[in-house]
Chains A and B, each alone.
Chain A
Amino acid sequence: MESQTRRAPGVCIPWEGKERELPPLTGDLELVRKIWEEIDLFAYIFIWHCLVSF
């Protein structure tokens, strides 16, 4: 299901924006991205469950 809205489903602060804030990484970029997106998803779940469940 395609989203036409500004922030994709599952995302609060897109990694692409966050990545630009970081200094050149010395290590594993993918690891940083993965963890960023996992924790960001928690915020997404929080706000949408506030609306839908609570």
Chain B
Amino acid sequence: MSYLFAAYLAIWILIFAYTLILGRREKQLQEELFLLKKTVGRNKN
């Protein structure tokens, strides 16, 4: 039973870790995009 628990725990840790990484990447890039757009807007003026 402990092997079954370990296997499913590992599966969910891997899937959640990857989803978390994707979410963090998205957040960082959205922030960077916002700042870059602001810079481009400032350069225009």
Does A pair with B?
no
- Which B residues form the contact surface with A (CB < 8 A)? none
